[in-house]
Structure 1
Amino acid sequence: MNRDIEVVNIHDAKTNLSRLVDLASKGQPFIIAKAGKPLVKVEAIDDKPKAIIGALKGIYPAVDDIDAPFADDIANLFGGEAD
């Protein structure tokens, strides 16, 4: 368990819930314990959308050799010759 996280007993959590939730929403999670035993961790919800791998599969055609039409241009950029 991360020692930087505040641990509060359930009674104190009830008494100070608004303050604790405000802190958690600002990035300071806390743990609620009962009789010294950690029960739950309260932290802000990360509502940023997560990237879904393969979400566009089938919408855009995949190209086997995407750089083939630009092989000469790419080779010139690096001072070489295209195959």
Structure 2
Amino acid sequence: MKIIDIYEATVHLSELLDQNQPFIIIKEGKPVAQVLPYSQKTSQRIGFMPINIPQDFDSMHQDEILALFNKIDK
């Protein structure tokens, strides 16, 4: 793994990151940070089956829903 002085890392950070390789930053001869390429984990998608929504979805059971909302409790 490449070892870079903190001054060099500051000056050349963009180029170092473009290399997409891990490196260690040292300050006064001691390691202070390890930089690793970011790897995005792919998660498995839940609900991978296709779904069909009926055209009248917004009005389905409209009468029953209105009746429930208009119901007066005694």
Q: Report sequence identity in percent.
A: 38
**Counterpart amino acid of residue 14 in structure 1:** T
Given the alignment of the two structures, is residue 44 of structure 1 paired with residue 44 of structure 2, yes or no? no
**Aligned-residue offset at 1:23:** 1.1
Given the alignment of the two structures, is residue 35 of structure 1 paired with residue 28 of structure 2, yes or no? yes
**TM-score with structure 1 length normalisation?**
0.48
**Counterpart amino acid of residue 40 in structure 1:** A
Structure 2 Cα separation of the partners of residues 29 and 48 of structure 1: 18
**TM-score with structure 2 length normalisation?**
0.54
2:7 maps to: 11
1:76 maps to: none
What do residues 22-51 of structure 1 show as CA deviations (whole Å, max 9, x unaligned)?
113xxx110100011011111111102256
Count, aligned residues: 46
Quote the RMSD (CA, aligned, Å).
1.8
Larger Rg: 2
Alignment gaps of 5+ in structure 1: 56-83
Pair 1:50–1:8, CA change in 2 (3 A): same
Alignment gaps of 5+ in structure 2: 47-74
